[in-house]
Structure 1
């Protein structure tokens, strides 16, 4: 059982060592997402290129004052 505790302790130490780097990377990623939206990249493309869901992207965009994208052309079903 002590090996499991040692594994857990080691994993916790690794997590704590990399936590700030991960947070910084997340901030940089969110800045890039918002810049892309402000620059006209469609939300569907932003979703495809990022690890975030469409809902999270929309919610964050609205919180940052970015208006919804114009609707795309309607598809005609055959």
Structure 2
């Protein structure tokens, strides 16, 4: 997925705040460019991933819950894009 608009905070998507970590059992959406700031130079980030890239990772939750959360997050992004 690539977001074309502003990147929402984790609160905007209804997900818990804090640093996401893959390897867990929960689903999450990660914005790699934000996570890598401070670890890589802006140039390295620019050639590694598109700035709007969001990487989803599905966990072990009920599929219907994961789909509902993803659709709610997409709706929030569309609503935000429509108001800016």
- Length-normalised TM-score, structure 2: 0.28
> Which has the greater radius of gyration?
1
Structure number having the greater helix percentage: 1
- Length-normalised TM-score, structure 1: 0.30
Q: Higher relative contact order by CA 8 Å / sep ≥ 6: 1 or 2?
A: 2
Structure number having the greater strand percentage: 2
